[in-house]
Amino acid sequence: MNALRAVIFDFDGTIFDTETPEFQHWQALYRRHGRELHLQDWQRGIGTWDAFDPWAGLPEHVQAQRETVHEELRGAVHAALEDADVRPGVRAVLDEVRARGLALGLATSSDRAWVTRWLSQHGLLNHFSALATRDDVRRVKPDPELYVLAAQRLGLDPAACLAVEDSLNGATAAVAAGMGVVVVPNEVTRTQPFPPAWPQLHGYEGGLDALLQAAGRN
C-alpha cells in the first residue's frame, strides 16, 4: 500500500449537505400533487448525473410548467442552503489534513460554478489544491474519471489518496479509481447498500484520526 499523501473529498452531501434539503423540497412538491417521491428512487441520482428524472413522476400539468416550477423549487432550495453550515466537524478535518502536510483535493459530479460558490461562501475554497468537476470530464461518478483526474492534478498515484464520500455512486467511483474510501453518509444516503468492506463513519466528530483509522491508513 502506498503511503498516504492526499485526501480527496466529494462535495455535495459530504462537505456541505445540499442533498437533504433538495430531496425534502422535491418530496414536498410531489405531495402537493398527490404523489410520493420514494427515497430509494431518489438515491439513484445522488452523486451522479441524469440517473434519475424526478419530473417523470409528476402530473403532466406540472411538467408542462417545468421551467417555472423548477425556478421556484431551486429558489427554495438555495434559500435553505443560504442559512445552512457545512457538516459538523468537516471544517476541522479539512484544517487537519493541511496541517499534517497532506494534499487536499475535491472530486464532484457537480459543476465548478456550484462548488466554488459554496466553498467560497464558507471560506473553504483555498483549502483545496485541486478540483475536478463535471465540467472537466466526459463521465461523472460512478465512473472513476473524476477521481483519477483529481489525483493527476495533485501529481499523485490514486493509491496514495484516500477518498471521503457520502454516496454509493461516489464511493464506487473512488474504489474504481484505485483509492481507499471512507463513507460518511448523510440523512438521505445512509440507507444505501454500501458494501460491508467499505468503512463508514456517522460523522466527522472524531476528526482526521477517525477517518484514517477507519481506512486503515493511520
DSSP codes, 4-68: P-EEEE--BTTTB--HHHHHHHHHHHHHHTT----HHHHHTTTTSSSS--GGGGS-HHHHTTHHH
Q: What is the pLDDT of residue 1?
A: 64
Domain total in the chain: 2
pLDDT in tens, 184-213: 999 999 999 999 999 999 999 999 999 999
Q: Does residue 165 lie in a domain region? A: yes
Residue 104 has pLDDT above 80, yes or no: yes
Whether residue 209 lies in the annotated active site? no
Rounded to whole angstroms, the Cα distance separating 214 from 218 reads 8
Report DSSP state, residue 82: H
Residues 66 and 167 in one domain: no
Which grid coordinates are listed for 84?
445552512
Out of 12, 17, 143, 166, pick the active-site residue.
12
Whether residue 17 lies in the annotated active site? no
Residues 99 and 69 in one domain: no
Out of 10, 17, 143, 166, pick the active-site residue.
10
pLDDT in tens, 135-152: 999 999 999 999 999 999
Residue 55 sits in which domain range?
19-82
pLDDT in tens, 38-92: 999 999 999 999 999 999 999 999 999 999 999 999 999 999 999 999 999 999 9
Query: Model-level pTM?
Result: 0.96
Q: What is the pLDDT of residue 27?
A: 97
pLDDT in tens, 109-121: 999 999 999 999 9
Mean pLDDT of 123-142: 98
Q: What is the pLDDT of residue 2?
A: 82
Q: What is the pLDDT of residue 218?
A: 75
Q: Does residue 1 lie in a domain region? A: no
Q: What is the pLDDT of residue 4?
A: 97
Residues 23 and 101 in one domain: no
